[in-house]
Structure 1
């Protein structure tokens, strides 16, 4: 099994939740945790690792989307494989519905010692009628919460997991939410023994997905990894995206087409429509809404003090963005053994593609790092552009988004191998910032290869940005 790395903060949260169960002295010691995150970010592995190390009996059940009787049979089988002390009684109960199953589960959970119950892929049990959510709510209120148990509900459908705790739903305010993201660049730097610039490259290609990162040998460079992965048609780099999309959009072929258009590099509504085969405005808006609701796509607006309707769309997951741009169109040639053609195509476009793809990661890093000695913290960090793109600013910090009351700083990103942020880049930033506002703003220079100019209020290189994910 691949080495388990990172996740120290998440493991600490899980341990703290179990400790609260253990220390509770009232008649409702149970606690519930709602864990969500994109597919393949390692949610199940994290919780399994926690449960294995916790020393408490646990049951780990994974829903599959089959008919209810099949799910209940699987629940009984998982009960047999659990470490609960009364697992035989639970497995032999033969419940006819989820109400009976959860009531039986509560009956066999220990009364005087903590236990852990995990339901993975919970959205497979949810539907528009909210029937399972109602059963879960009643079972929790009447039975499960009265036992010293930590109930962990896991889901990859981000919108459905977020809805589970929304005001109008039965399970509202019964669990604490926890979001699991991918491995961050700092994790990758340690796991793969990389320098900071290469760690950011790895984050853009793998998205920090543990299954893909496990195939990347420590000390291997980007091109060596890609050469190996593309030559293996079963590599996680090639197959993970298709499997995730098939699971997430089984009935949304049009949304998949729109996603492909965005992944190919189209960002505006009009250009996406053309790239998606001339799709009409109404079905395109419907597909975009589906993609945004599922948090696969973001629709960004320029961040400034003036309202704008010039929305730009982007794929939120770095790995999926890389796969859609370079790998999905090349599957045929990869399968016929010509991955060398794919790799050469990536090499030719890599610098240009990376320059834009790294922007959200840089903004996230700054949001974690600031304030510093020269730049204030900003509740909102985005970018600014005009419809004609004659003015583009990579980084804009403000008090709120998308229409700010106050702009706090502006910045530019230059992410090239051997070219420092120079006087020309600074002059461009000054000119564009002046078009954004007539008020003086602190200026930020972000560069992969250092800075050779003076005049920026703050400069950041990959090593500085990597510190954004340091918990100390």
Structure 2
């Protein structure tokens, strides 16, 4: 069974909410609602199951399946029958045929004298398929459910729809507190798999911190052992998780899939993405990138500097999906015919160069968690800088705001190689790029997997220090 490493904070939040319900038993509105969102397969449902296992409160766990209103109500009926609610038999006796009636009857089943938990998983399916669902949910909460000592957990994987559920112009606005469940972070992964800091970051780039994939990684195994094992198993979580997630969010023929593949192959500019996706029209590509960014699958970024720029670049936001698109998706046919050895050889050839760019967003986030540290100030914005021709490219830019800064706080370079330190040559290149964007003596920073061998840096960071930043959470 997968241990819940790194989930103590989330479990404490849920436990605190249930305690608040318990303390309010007998009051006019003791109910509490939490809107829980996170990408598919990050372990939201498993987290809730673990929470329910640890509590003795009667509970109902219903998962929407994206069917018709009638089929969803049938599933709800089955979920109530399998719940631990004390009056669950009443639901089957009346068999509601509409959601208004279902919510009303559900409220009648909930105890008045002790707390209970009601979980509705994959709420976006209901929002999308059932007319006026949000309005019915809002009325049921205001008039019925909030008057019961219940903790209502509304869970969803479509991030934009879950955010919309709580937006000010929607019926359920401010009825619940938002909770974001992210993947396991690099420190969690290192602890779970028994890996040193540098290897923990490698594992994070491959698994994306998805618990189901991490669970298949034998503790202490290096990345090549894990990849060999996964590629030898055609139903391994590493191979199938991405396709299942994409299938649930994007139809197989959707142009968004082709655009995502183009970005995943390494294309970053609008023109190159259009060419790699088959020469699609400007308007079609704009619609596709808008969908991908809205769903948080792709990040669209501008250079961070003192002057405005239109040189937007795109990247796959999730590390695991980025790895899968680059190395696994194009070669699923050979993996399925049990030639994963060919895929593994290809990964080994490209790993160092691919990792060098893939690690940059993770380094930026690590620094955002780490600073201030006595060497560098806290930076409200940490990004990168580039020009159209890439004659100037800076991996790390710390500034007071983005994308157009008033003040640059530091500039830095990432060198993530196994055996090479950040040296005088790397420092000279960084100094040259600094001179191209500012005349100020902005502090220079190096992030290196294998240390530094030069003088003149304001600060330098390695894997152990960066990993420590995640342990604070």
Q: TM-score, normalised by structure 1?
A: 0.98
Instruction: Give distance in 2, aligned partners of 1:191 and 1:389.
Output: 39
Q: Is 1:435 aligned to residue 436 of structure 2?
A: yes
| Range with bigger deviation, 366-375 or 429-438 | 429-438
**Residues in 1 aligned to 2:92 and 2:224: alpha-carbon distance in whole angstroms:** 50
Instruction: Say which SS state the counterpart of residue 155 (structure 2) adopts.
Output: strand
Q: Distance in 1 between matches of 2:130 and 2:285?
A: 27
Q: Is the 8 A contact 2:68 2:129 kept in 1?
A: no
Structure 1: give runs of 5+ residues left out of the alignment.
none
Deviation at 1:118, TM superposition (A): 0.3
Separation in 2 of the partners of 1:383 and 1:170?
39
Q: CA RMSD in A?
A: 1.2
CA distance in 1: counterparts of 2:213 and 2:128, whole angstroms: 31
Partner of 1:22: 22
- In 2, the alpha carbon distance for the partners of 1:405 and 1:121 equals 42
2:447 equivalent in structure 1: 446
Give, in whole Å, the separation in 1 of the partners of 2:52 and 2:433.
53
Superposed, which structure 2 residues align to 1:446-465 within 5 Å? Answer: 446-465=447-466
Residue equivalent to 1:143: 144
**Any residues of structure 2 matched to 1:278-357 within 5 Å, and which?**
278-357=279-358
5 Å-filtered alignment, 1:55-94, equals 55-94=56-95
The CA deviation at 1:90 is 2.5
**Which whole-Å deviations, capped at 9, do the CAs of 1:165-204 have from their partners, x for residues lacking one?**
1111110111100111100000011100000000000000
SS at match of 2:90: helix
1:280-316 Cα distance to aligned partner (Å, 9 max, x none): 1010000000000111001000001111000000000
The answer to whether the aligner puts 1:239 opposite 2:256 as a matched pair is no
Shift of 1:130: 6.0
Q: 1:93 to 1:454 in 2, by over 3 A?
A: farther
Q: Give the Cα separation in 1 of the matches to 2:82 and 2:203.
A: 37
Q: Which moved more, 1:263-272 or 1:24-33?
A: 24-33
Inter-partner Cα distance in structure 2 for 1:119 and 1:251: 27
Correspondence 1:154 to 2:155: yes
Match of 2:390 in 1: 389
Change (3 A) 1:408 1:252: farther
**Contact 1:297/1:313 (8 A) holds in 2:** yes
- 1:206-247 CA deviation, whole Å, 9 max, x = no partner? 000001111000011100000010011111100110110000
Q: TM-score, normalised by structure 2?
A: 0.98
Please give the alpha-carbon distance, in whole angstroms, between the structure 1 residues aligned to 2:173 and 2:348.
Answer: 49
Residue 4 of structure 1: aligned partner: 4
Moved more, 411-420 or 19-28: 19-28
1:121-136 matched pairs, under 5 angstroms: 121-127=122-128, 131-136=132-137
Aligned to 1:173: 174
Superposed CA offset, 1:437-469 (max 9, x none): 111211111011111112111111101000111
Quote how far apart the aligned CAs of 1:4 are: 2.7
Q: 1:129 to 1:370 in 2, by over 3 A?
A: same
Find the counterpart in structure 2 of residue 203 from structure 1: 204
Q: CA deviation at 1:154?
A: 0.4
1:298-354 per-residue CA deviation (whole Å, 9 max, x = no partner) reads: 100000111100000000000000000000001011111111110000000000000
Secondary structure in 2 matching 1:282: helix
2:68–2:130 contact (8 Å) kept in structure 1: no
Greater Cα offset, 231-240 or 428-437: 428-437
CA distance in structure 2 between the aligned counterparts of 1:328 and 1:104, rounded to whole angstroms: 47
Equivalents in 2 of 1:91, 1:244: separation in Å?
33
Question: 1:165·1:175 contact (CA, 8 Å) conserved in 2?
Answer: yes
Distance 1:126 1:252, change over 3 A: farther
Q: Deviations over 1:19-40 (max 9, x none)?
A: 1111126311111000100000
Q: Secondary structure at the match of 1:295?
A: coil
Shift of residue 129, structure 1, vs aligned partner: 8.1
SS in 2 for 1:126: helix
SS in 2 for 1:73: helix
CA contact (8 A) 1:76 1:92 kept: no
Matches within 5 A, 1:36-47: 36-47=37-48
77-86 vs 128-137, which moves further:
128-137
Counting matched residue pairs gives 472
Query: Structure 1 residue 86: deviation in Å?
Result: 1.1
Report how far residue 408 of structure 1 moved.
1.0
In the alignment, what sits opposite 1:273?
274
Q: CA deviation at 1:252?
A: 5.8
Paired residues of 2:208 and 2:321 also in contact (CA < 8 A)? yes
Provide the rounded CA distance (Å) in 1 between the counterparts of 2:294 and 2:92. Answer: 38
How far is 1:3 from its partner? 2.8
